[in-house]
Structure 1
Amino acid sequence: MPRLTPVAPSSATGRTAELFTGIKSKLGMVPNMMQTLGHSPAALEGYLSLSSALGGGLLTATQREQIALAVGQANSCDYCLAAHSALGKMAGLTVDQIRDARLGTAVDAKDEALVGFARKLVDENGHVDDADLANLKQHGFSEGEIVEIVLNVSLNILTNYFNHVADPKIDFPAAPELAAAGTCSSNGTCSTH
């Protein structure tokens, strides 16, 4: 049961109604998290603006989804894990890549550096050292991309924390439970070896 009531798109007024119309035209729906953010048009618009700006940045959609999955797992945000598992698939991530990102790892060395850094930012409250930055640069990340990694982590922490407080009903397929040392099938079911 949600702890904050979502604003139904049919009853939204003013700026919230305008924002909901834009969301629905882009996504085909207004997700429950965004309906709940709709209580504050300023908060919803701020979230949408930052998300949109980063969507036009240097990082690819798959990289942004890998970050979202790593951060969502680190913060135990079931809503974000469900949403970004679905969005990750739409962006081209495989079930294995989604699982790996949630675990803070990847098969590809550049992706491994990306999700490892994202997890370290969360785990260390942003306190990274010179070696962490050098590792990203050695894997081909520019300083502009590093800035965007930090901002994408921050955006996802924002939604994770908001969802912990609001507890919106999950309106995406639930993300599978992670097995300790396992594999995930193409339907998203994970099991141990």
Structure 2
Amino acid sequence: MIGFNVHSVELAPEASREPLEELRRRVGFVPNLAGAMAEAPVAIDGFNQLQRALRETTLSAAEREIVGIAVSVHNRSAYSVAAHSAFGERAGLEPEVIEALRAGKEDLPEGKAAALAAFTRAVLRSGGLVGQEEVGALLGSGYSRAQALEVVTQAAYTVMANWVAGVTGAELDAALSGKAWDGVV
């Protein structure tokens, strides 16, 4: 595999330094994925801007991580499954929900989480061409039309991270190693 540099804030291309510093402040460290993404300033800046915007959605941090884990399992992105599992735990997501998502289980221990994961998977399986029954199931579980679009936005953000992890071969950070995922679903 062709290696990608994992840039530090100090040694990244000039236009990538501020986005990396912002991530370091927000997350507590510069994830290897972001350091690799910093090779292209437009990539790390776009990633950071979308992450910032997603924190302003009406979905809770835990709900965003449900989407993140479901997308990452679907895309078999070991790096992102570990990251979203760790961030989900930090956001207060129940361990049994995290484990069920990581295992690709359709039946989750919490109903609203199950509806959110099911809708996310429907979006992924259909390439966004979900039927009214999938949208209706999400709305029927208490989510709004705006939140359906927020799920799509979170999914797009996570797909970007999944693809960058795959292209760059970013190594799992030590801070995330406790949530390593072997890709078995």
Matched residues in 2 for 1:26 and 1:138: separation? 34
- Contact 1:65–1:87 (CA<8 Å) still a contact in 2? yes
SS across alignment from 2:142: coil
Q: Which amino acid aligns with 2:146?
A: G
Give the one of 152, 155, 158 matched to 1:153. Answer: 155
Deviation string 1:132-157 (CA, Å, 9 cap, x unpaired) is: 11111111111110110111111111
- Is 1:21 matched with 2:24? no
Secondary structure of the residue aligned to 2:128 is coil
Contact 1:79 1:163 in 2 (8 A): yes
Unaligned runs of 5+ in 1: 181-193
Q: Which residue of 2 aligns with 1:169?
A: 171
Q: Could you tell me how far 1:15 is from its partner in structure 2?
A: 2.1
Greater Rg over alpha carbons, structure: 1
Counterpart contact for 1:2–1:169, Cα < 8 Å: no
Q: How does 1:3-152 map to 2 (within 5 A)?
A: 3-102=3-102, 103=104, 104-152=106-154
Contact 1:2–1:168 under 8 Å retained in 2: no
1: distance between equivalents of 2:91 and 2:38?
A: 26
| 20-29 vs 154-163, greater mean Cα deviation | 20-29
Identity %: 27
CA contact (8 A) 2:78 2:181 kept: no
Runs of 4 or more, structure 1, over 4 Å off, are: 176-180
Alpha-carbon RMSD across the aligned residues, in angstroms, is 1.8
Cα contact 1:71–1:118 (8 A) shared by 2: yes
Query: Could you tell me which amino acid in structure 2 is paired with residue 59 of structure 1?
Result: L
Rate the CA distance shift 1:158–1:105 in 2: closer, same or farther, 3 A. Answer: farther
Could you state the TM-score of these two structures normalised by the residue count of structure 2? 0.89
Displacement, 1:93? Answer: 1.4
What SS does structure 1 have at the residue aligned with 2:10? helix
CA distance in 2, matches of 1:105, 1:74: 16
TM-score by length of 1: 0.86
Report the more deviating stretch, 7-16 or 158-167. 7-16
Instruction: Please report how far the alpha carbon of residue 96 of structure 1 lies from its aligned counterpart in structure 2 after TM superposition.
Output: 1.1
Provide the C-alpha distance between the structure 1 equivalents of 2:181 and 2:21, rounded to a whole number of angstroms: 31
Contact 2:19–2:45 (CA under 8 A) maintained in structure 1: yes
- 5+ residue gaps, structure 2, are none
Aligned to 1:188: none
Take 1:140 and 1:47, find their aligned partners in 2: how far apart are those partners? 29
